Amino acid sequence: MTGLFLTKSGRTLTMWLYLVALVGLFYLVRWYRERQVVSHLQEKYVFITGCDSGFGNLLARQLDARGLRVLAACLTEKGAEQLRNRTSDRLKTVILDVTKTENIAVATQWVKEHVGDKGLWGLVNNAGCVHPLGYTEWQRPEDSMTVFKVNLIGLMEVTMSMLPMVRRARGRIVNVSSILGRIAFSGGAYSSSKYGVEAFSDVLRRELQHFGVKISMVEPGYFRTGMTDVQQSLERGRQVWDEAPVHIKEAYGQQFFDDYYNDMKKQLSKCSTNLYLVTDCMEHALTSVHPRTRYSVGWDAQFFFIPLSYLPTSLADYILTRSWPKPAQAV
């Protein structure tokens, strides 16, 4: 009986050793594949939206330092000038509001004049915005529409306008999503727009696979950018609450808002300041022979939110909302 037990234990141990070896081999092969770099990078053009600040600004400087030909789209002339002052003469800027069709058409023609017959190697859809902090019921319809126009509709329109040039170069499209595009628990319109980015990217990747075009999504967790600036975010959130209809304030109660406000203040103060974690993933998606389909970035994304997204919904709901305050008129 003891011998049988030892035999079974030995088989179990052997099985686990094989499993560990297979997992180790998988990651070793992936590591080797992902280290292979595209040749002649100095001849390739990359167009990036939202370069005034944040991820787009850092990525533009990062790729310029590596020798790529960066075409940076900024929302304001001030942002464009500041970027030009920090980069080489190779980098060129254009003013672009992704919510305006005529603006996109002008930018597309501008890109065509620069890339010529080479085509556009990389398109990075980075431009984005977020509505003020607060529950979905507190938001104004116009704030939600702006989020969709920038984060999803604008991204789709820029992509379709630039796509012939990307296809010519058999290049890359990098769409900036969010961890809230994988598991939605706040920012109703923002999360919805990022779910849309995920769906659009998945469809486009499958449709373009035979043209040699690769699509990647970057899904950052919580990082310190202009969209997550503590003071501005809290001020906008308080304004939304102050302007909310009386019946909404009565339903939630002032104490609810105060608790929510303080919790958001704590969460925003914990945002990572290492933006390179995100831009390094963007750079890899543009320069690796074998880019990933998805890059989940940040400790919070990789070790909390992504695992949480695979749990049963009821369990995920409990974990996410167990510490949330209760509204005044909660049942």
Residue 102 lies in a domain: yes
Tell me which residue range forms the domain holding 90.
40-227+273-313
Q: Which pairs with CB-CB distance under 8 Å and at least 24 residues apart come from 13-16?
A: none
* Mean pLDDT, rounded, of the chain: 93
Amino acid 2: pLDDT: 53
pTM of the predicted model over 0.85: yes
C-beta separation of 125 from 150 below 8 A: no
Condensed to tens digits (0 to 9), the pLDDT of residues 65-109 reads: 999 999 999 999 999 999 999 999 999 999 999 999 999 999 999
Condensed to tens digits (0 to 9), the pLDDT of residues 316-328 reads: 999 999 999 999 9
Residue 215 lies in a domain: yes
C-beta separation of 48 from 126 below 8 A: yes
Residue 7 lies in a domain: no
Cβ contacts of residue 137 below 8 Å, gap of 6+? Answer: 248
Model confidence band, residue 165 (pLDDT cutoffs 50, 70, 90)? very high
**Overall domain count for the chain:** 1
Residue 55 lies in a domain: yes
Token duo for residue 122: 């990389």
Radius of gyration for the chain, computed over Cα atoms and rounded to the nearest angstrom: 23
Token duo for residue 120: 């556009």
Cβ contacts of residue 152 below 8 Å, gap of 6+? Answer: 193, 196, 197, 200
Condensed to tens digits (0 to 9), the pLDDT of residues 224-268 reads: 988 888 888 999 999 999 999 999 999 999 999 999 999 999 988
Residue 298 lies in a domain: yes
- Higher-confidence residue of 34 and 52: namely 52
Residue 290 lies in a domain: yes
Helix, strand, coil share (%) of the chain residues, nearest 5:
60, 10, 25
Residue 256 lies in a domain: no
> Is pLDDT of 297 > 90?
yes
- The closest alpha carbon to 217, from 239, 200, 231, belongs to 200
Residue 12 lies in a domain: no
Report, as residue numbers or ranges, the catalytic residues.
190
Amino acid 19: pLDDT: 83
Which amino acid is present at 23? V
Domain at 74, CATH number = 3.40.50.720
